[in-house]
A and B are shown apart, each in its own frame.
Chain A
Amino acid sequence: GQNIDQPTEMTATEGAIVQINCTYQTSGFNGLFWYQQHAGEAPTFLSYNVLDGLEEKGRFSSFLSRSKGYSYLLLKELQMKDSASYLCAVMDSNYQLIWGAGTKLIIKP
């Protein structure tokens, strides 16, 4: 079966760095997405990785290793507004998104 695993909840301190991991087993691979979802709001697109390596976008970076079935989202200089759920999703061979359950990130002052 297809499976996406990510931690349920993480806590970090304002100004610090946090890494949210995602491991996957899917039927085929057409890229991995990270979305941010604030409580009661729409998931919003953060990043897309299809090749191995690190993609940097401001305070957020996303890493992919296809051979290991592994990705992480790195958030630097954490701000209170970064408190949200972070969703990992893999696009399978049918171009369907397979979703993880999300990681709730709590930022403390």
Chain B
Amino acid sequence: ETGVTQTPRHLVMGMTNKKSLKCEQHLGHNAMYWYKQSAKKPLELMFVYNFKEQTENNSVPSRFSPECPNSSHLFLHLHTLQPEDSALYLCASSQDPLAGGPETQYFGPGTRLLVL
């Protein structure tokens, strides 16, 4: 496979469930990102990992827990979510964003999450 892949593509969960979203990048990048995309709103950056280290957490509630075991894989663990967490969750990757110049981010297709 090439590019950035995400699984599952669609997820329905109750507020008491625990689930995980998976992202994998095949581009040889060092940085990975989680974004939340809600209808008619700008993409919201949630977490950034650079060389497996978390470099950004944009005040995301603790019911979202990221994990980055290596530079190619990124997970988002979900527990006790709320209905307002329903959205499209996008993963992206790039070269090192702090290497001395802006780097283009490449996105996966996203996981459409519905919390009941």
Contact = CB atoms under 8 A, between A and B. Distances in A.
Nearest to B105: A97
A67 B1 CA distance: 42
B107 interface: yes
A45 B103 CA distance: 11
Contacts of A42: 4, 90, 107-110
B116 interface: no
Contacts, number: 50
A26 to B, nearest CB: 12
| Range of interface residues on B (Cβ < 8 Å) | 20 to 34
29 contacts: A8-B40, A30-B101, A31-B102, A35-B107, A41-B109, A41-B110, A42-B90, A42-B107, A42-B110, A43-B43, A43-B90, A44-B107, A45-B104, A48-B104, A50-B102, A87-B43, A95-B97, A95-B98, A96-B56, A96-B97, A97-B43, A97-B105, A99-B42, A99-B43, A100-B42, A101-B40, A101-B42, A102-B40, A102-B42
Interface of A: 4, 8, 30-31, 33, 35, 40-45, 48, 50, 87, 89, 91, 95-102
